[in-house]
Amino acid sequence: MSNTLLKVFVKPNARTIKYQWLDKTTLKIDIPEPPEKNKANEYLIKFLSEKLSLPQQDIEIKGGKTSRHKFVIIKMELEKIKTLLGK
């Protein structure tokens, strides 16, 4: 299985959870958690884990832990991620 590096733009403190593809490898996700104490990052990993039916340890924030712009490595092929999240 190959790994995919996704660029993820996170909007914390959102009222509702929603996501959309901005381009081929960039995902924008609005999440209800605040950015402090790693809550938004933990929520992001949990959310992706549930949507992709992957264990949380198969999803890792590689860069941007303190930024809204994150680089996330997912142990899944990009096409499968897009299928599961909707293109």
Name the pLDDT band for 86 (thresholds 50, 70, 90). Answer: confident
**Distances in whole angstroms, Cα of residue 61 to Cα of each of 15, 66, 82:** 23, 10, 18
- Would you say residue 52 has pLDDT above 80? yes
Residue 82 has pLDDT above 90, yes or no: yes
For range 10-37, the mean pLDDT: 94
Dihedral of the alpha carbons of 58, 59, 65, 71, in degrees to the nearest 10: 120
Distance (Å, whole) CA 71 – CA 12: 16
Model pTM above 0.85? yes
CATH superfamily of 4-85: YggU-like (3.30.1200.10)
14-18, 31-35, 83-87 — which is least confidently predicted? 83-87
Q: Strand (E) positions, the chain?
A: 4-11, 18-23, 26-30, 59-63, 69-74
